[in-house]
Chain A
Amino acid sequence: MKVHEIMTRDLTSVEADVTIRELIFILDNARMPNIPVVNDANQLLGIISEKDLIRAALPGYFDMLHSASFIPDLNQMAKRLSAIIDDPAEKHMQRSVLHVLADDDVLQAADLIIRKDISNIPVVDGEGQLVGRVKRIDLLKPYI
């Protein structure tokens, strides 16, 4: 079975210059944990997730802490978020993006989703244009 047979056919994506403020609105309203970032030719440039935004809003020393409970004041997070709220998505996106081709075998997508513990993976065509995404649940739907 090929990826294009099971993928979610959705092209929801953002441009590299979309602000973090807009991004939070889109992620929330489209109910997506992450969103592909594309160029003017609809080719995949990167991906940006809720996790990326939360991490960007955390204090710089967060990685040295054992737990988020060590953050003395959540206001710090709010302040940092307000500092990045008008940043472009490209500043915080992941540029190295796992993806599969529409004609790849589903096993390829399943392997990446399971081994890398990701909720979904973008699907591109032979020209690198975004054509959809495979969600974890898409792997199961053909069998029900």
Chain B
Amino acid sequence: MIITVTLSPAIDKVYWVDHLKIGEVAQDSFLTRATRSLTSAGGKGINVSILLSRLQVDNIAMGFVAGHTGHVVVRDLRDEGITTNFVWTHGETRTNVTILENGREHIPIKVNETSTPVTPLELDRFFRRFRRIVPNAEWVVLGGVLPPGAPPDVYRQLTSIANQHGARVVVTAGGRALAESLLACPYLVKPDLRESVSLEGSPVVTVSEIIAAGKKIVSCGVEMIVMTHEVTGDIVITKDAVWEIQARVKTTQIKNIVGADDALLGGIIYQLDRGADVEHALRFGMATGILSAESEEKICRNINRIENEMNLISLERLEG
């Protein structure tokens, strides 16, 4: 069984527009009409849950939800066949808005709200729920930013608890939440480089900088690190090897990159859980991510196309 944790879930609202009018002065130019839109439950862990559920993998989504939008999130997940186990808090689950200009979808404009703060009592309730079900978990995915009120070491605490029960922990986050989690040695890490352009003060831009930063993390005891390099490419580092993985697709084929990174991670977890070797898992994961980016819906639904998409993936072993 797989548990995903999204402490700051969201409603993802995506708008496509022909031309976004910014800085227009004339009153009749203020309005930008969306040509179409999509609404879905979101957040890193939740996106992984949706992908896994579409791959027929039973999983439980956990975190905090609140208010009307909280009900939208929970309803969406149940419709996907995902088991929900959320702590209800005060306030309102946040809404994250993405605006995509038709033809330039690979350069999104994103506006993410901040989550409602959580109280110590609500955190305590969450931890107790987590402890109750983690003994049944083979994998635990911890994803996304922390809500105000959550201590920065919350992922470290959750990783330690999951490790004690023999679960493999995946952390996809950034900033201090990620740095703290490394102290508890998660199995797999995917840094969110949107939150911090550097790891431990070192800039992470070029391939060599990415590999150096990744090796530093692996030396802490992490088994695998997946680092975004380009829109359609990642660097993967383990103790024994370094791979560069690329999708041979044009950026113009991209329709909606929201959640594509999480779909990639979900694809890797899916294959590793089935006992696949690392290279197959990486190719499958990248194919899943690219297929999601190529579809308007956030997470790809046409799962049977993943195997075909794998033909577009190149995997180069850089070291090891």
Contacts and interface: CB of A to CB of B under 8 A. Distances in A.
Interface of A: 8-12, 15, 18, 22, 25-26, 29-31, 38, 40-42, 129, 131-132
Interface residues of B, number: 22
Contacts of A22: 121
A30 B129 CA distance: 16
Given A40-B131, A42-B132, A11 B84 contact: yes
A118 B85 CA distance: 23
Contacts of A41: 132
16 contacts: A8-B78, A9-B78, A9-B81, A10-B78, A11-B60, A11-B85, A11-B129, A15-B128, A18-B125, A22-B121, A29-B66, A29-B67, A38-B132, A42-B132, A42-B133, A132-B83
B88 interface: yes
Nearest to A132: B83
Contacts of B131: 40
Contact of A10 (B84, B125, B132, B136): B84
Given A29-B66, A31-B71, A12 B84 contact: yes
Contacts, number: 42
Contacts of B82: 9
- Majority secondary structure, B binding face: helix
Given A10-B78, A40-B128, 4 more contacts: A10-B85, A11-B85, A18-B125, A29-B88
Contacts of B81: 9
Contacts of B78: 8-10
A11 B88 contact: no
B139 interface: no
Given A40-B131, A40-B132, A41-B132, A10 B88 contact: no
B88 A25 contact: yes
Given A15-B128, A40-B131, A10 B71 contact: no
Interface string B129-163: 10111001000000000000000000000000000
Contacts of A26: 88
Contacts of A15: 128
A8 B82 CA distance: 10
A11 B121 CA distance: 19
Contact of B85 (A8, A12, A29, A40): A12
